Amino acid sequence: MIKCAAGITACEQLGRGSAEDIAIAFSSLSAYLPTLMEIVKESSEHRKEAARQVAQCLFLKATLSMHKEGPKRAVIYMEQAAMYGKESRSIALQLGILKRLAWIYACDKQRRPALERVLEGQSMLKKTKVTVSPLVHCRLYTGVAEYQALNGHYDDALVALREAHKAYAQGGNDDSIDFNFSGLMLETGMAHYHAGRYSEAFAAYSQIIDPETLLPKTDLSSERIRCEVINYETLASLKLPKKDIERSIKLWTTGMQSAIALRSEQRFNEAMTAYDIMEALWPGESRIVSLHQYVEHW
């Protein structure tokens, strides 16, 4: 299991990089599952640890599948991850799985299931007697805020967002939790964006990536996240009261080029959504029409 754990960690690191790295990580993950699943089935002594590794493996496979295959396939992997997460008895892992499962449902335009998953996590967090890191608490509540807002429950979203920021302030540094300031600001922006608070959303994204220079202002966990921030910074900019066509074009071009370089279906779809909005805002505008040259699916 030690070799499997090291391999999964290596795949996680690869998945943060280029399109080629993501492809290698995605294809390699399947190699660890048969052995680990057999241990879960046959070994009472090592069942929990093996189940934890299976859940982590499927969690990562589902995440990368969003970029390689799309949400329909990704949700299958993540539902399997949820089963093994329960077997592992790790509360932090189960909460992380429910949060990521909510994201997959939301990307598939299934708003209600997305909210149900994070509320399931919220209920689990309130009931558990296990001490969990404030960053685990924060990571879950940013999801509660985002999907409450996505379902039109704006007051509940703001309450959850305040809870998330309070937990983050208490959290300090915890290297065992994959959640940092850029994650907090990204999901803060998402909650505001879905609530129609576009100025607040744009301000949150701008704390991660400068909209003028397009340089990061804080650490980003992966190239996938950098592209996501830029795409949603573009979307928020397009819905500000005062539109800036040049800034929107610069943001969109960078996001689309990154999505294509990553060969990410999810990021490409986000960029195309922004392009449709730009066409509607500035119909027939030559600068927008000329952007067709950048739209080249691999």
Least Cα distance to 284 among 244, 245, 254, 252 occurs for: 245
Residue identified by tokens 């879950």 is 140
Asked if 209 and 217 touch (Cβ cutoff 8 Å), the reply is yes
Which CA distances in Å does 102 have to 10, 64, 280, 290?
Answer: 25, 15, 30, 36
Return the C-alpha torsion angle 291, 293, 295, 298, nearest 10: -160
Query: What are 192-209's pLDDT values in tens digits?
Result: 999 999 999 999 999 999
Q: How far apart are CA 266 and CA 250, in angstroms?
A: 20
Asked if 229 and 186 touch (Cβ cutoff 8 Å), the reply is yes
pTM, two decimals, is 0.93
Using a 10 angstrom Cβ sphere, with 0-12 exposed, 13-18 middle and 19 or more buried, the burial of residue 263 is: middle
Query: What are 244-298's pLDDT values in tens digits?
Result: 999 999 999 999 999 999 999 999 999 999 999 999 999 999 999 999 999 989 8
Query: Which residue positions in the chain have pLDDT lower than 50?
Result: none
